[in-house]
Structure 1
Amino acid sequence: MKKFAVIVAGGSGTRMESTIPKQFLLLQNKPILWHSINAFANAFDDVEFIIVLPENFLEEGKKIAKEFSSTHKLNFVAGGETRFHSTQNGLKLINKESIIFVHDAVRCLVTKTLIQNCYTQAIAKGSAVPAIAATDTIRLIDDNDRNILLDRNKIRIIQTPQTFQSNILLPAFQQNYKDSFTDEASVVEAFGKEIFLIDGESENIKITRPVDLVVAESILGKRYSNY
């Protein structure tokens, strides 16, 4: 089946304390965005990319695209006001039956194994949303400002690529935006479709703060030394 990877990098990343969006910071001498694209390119020869970037950084993204094989078509679109709107802008370029991956550009440590596993489950069940178990103690602050201990064995931390059949994801994104739409799974669930989780990866971290760059640099260095 046709495959689309919507790589969402529409934000500015203010928590990184950088003058440029974090997806363009370097790891192993390559932009973070390059590593995310490369993971999908290694997973499938026939995946088509839709890269969602801040409008004033589209040209920077196109420079990165030149490093990839012509067998992988890379399309670019400007991001929106929220994650929902950025993803929605990317999905507007898809008009055929397909499996759609939506991936945070700054989760650049994702492996081809996870990507392929998400594809296989999405074919079988309609969706595949990577998740890992919580290891920290977690408390919930309720409406009365009371803190309530939660059973961490029942908590899952959600990752990307969130992967769906197009006939599920595309109509879900025709809904009007709600503040509760924090990821694609929340949009699809609000549309009335069941979400199916899949085992994520502990190293599939989101690069958000400067310390995450140090961790990612170390992980990539170990991976490349094993090749």
Structure 2
Amino acid sequence: MTNKAAILVAGGKGTRMGGPVAKQYMPVAGKPVLMRTLSVFHKVDPTIDLILVLPESDFLYWEDLCAQFKFKIPHRLVAGGNSRFQSVRNGLHSLSTDTKLVAIHDGVRPFVAESVISESFEVAEQAGSAIAVIALKDSIRKLRDDGKSFYEERQYFRLVQTPQTFQVDKIKKAFAVTELQQFTDDATVYENQGWQVTLISGNPENIKITTPEDLGYAEFIAAKQLSNR
């Protein structure tokens, strides 16, 4: 029994994609997004406990997709909640008592690097947490309520990705609170306990597929990966 788990959160309805099928089920280079994401984690560690959090109403649809694409990677389904916070908490409640480390990942980030996943577990085991981030390329400005804006030094900021990996006992304690508006990701829930998060380098290709433009870029990334094999 592995002491590692990964919770892949995909509870959204995909309204920003503008189509009848939610983004997590749409194909990229002939393979549904969620299957790509599950495959990366499985490749890093075939013994990892993979938990896929979906709207309960999508369970049968997902099972049909798995049959259609002959998708055999072992994973468990957990019903999502009304918010990302609630969906992650449901996933945490489903963990085995033997699980010591858990990576929480957006299901619609199928291009996370294997090395990032591996490092996240290694760092979280020692430090308690490991949050994947990347540096900004563009200049940034801070807006004020009066309409004025001010230049900010971009080297002091990072774009936050997933996975966000934690020691299970700590992240379970962090999620045993009332949901707050400032909980924009799992790191902010963790910080609410007064704990400092540890940052690791993510990979730029690890995009979150949200819009039709993202889907087009995802096709490009997938084609590039195939050509480099």
- For normalisation by structure 1, the TM-score amounts to 0.94
Quote the residue 2:72 is aligned against: 68
Quote the residue 2:198 is aligned against: 196
Give the 3 Å change call, closer, same or farther, for CA 62–191 of structure 1 in structure 2. farther
Which is worse superposed, 40-49 or 216-225?
A: 216-225
Quote the residue 2:119 is aligned against: 117
1:185 aligns with 2:174: no
Which is worse superposed, 96-105 or 26-35?
A: 96-105
- For residue 216 of structure 2, give the secondary structure of its aligned residue in structure 1: helix
Map Cα deviations across residues 1-41 of structure 1 (whole Å, 9 max, x no partner): 61111000001121111111100000111100000000000
- For residue 68 of structure 1, give the secondary structure of its aligned residue in structure 2: coil
1:127 aligns with 2:132: no
CA drift of 1:67 comes to 1.5
Counting only pairs closer than 5 Å after superposition, residues 15-164 of structure 1 correspond to structure 2 as 15-63=16-64, 64=66, 67-69=71-73, 72=74, 74-96=75-97, 97-164=99-166
CA drift of 1:98 comes to 1.5
Separation of aligned partners in 1, 2:82 and 2:121: 29
Quote the residue 2:211 is aligned against: 209
Which letter maps to 1:53?
Answer: L
Task: Count matched residues.
Answer: 224
Separation of aligned partners in 2, 1:197 and 1:104: 17
Separation of aligned partners in 1, 2:212 and 2:225: 21
CA drift of 1:95 comes to 4.2
Cα RMSD over matched residues?
Answer: 1.5
CA drift of 1:83 comes to 1.0
Which letter maps to 1:21?
Answer: A
Separation of aligned partners in 2, 1:154 and 1:168: 27
What percent of counterpart residues are identical? Answer: 38
Separation of aligned partners in 1, 2:95 and 2:194: 22
- For residue 58 of structure 1, give the secondary structure of its aligned residue in structure 2: helix
Separation of aligned partners in 1, 2:61 and 2:113: 24
Quote the residue 1:14 is aligned against: 15
Separation of aligned partners in 2, 1:14 and 1:149: 33
- For normalisation by structure 2, the TM-score amounts to 0.93
Structure 1 runs of 4+ aligned residues shifted over 4 Å read none
Map Cα deviations across residues 89-148 of structure 1 (whole Å, 9 max, x no partner): 111101424110100011011121111111111112111100001111212223444322
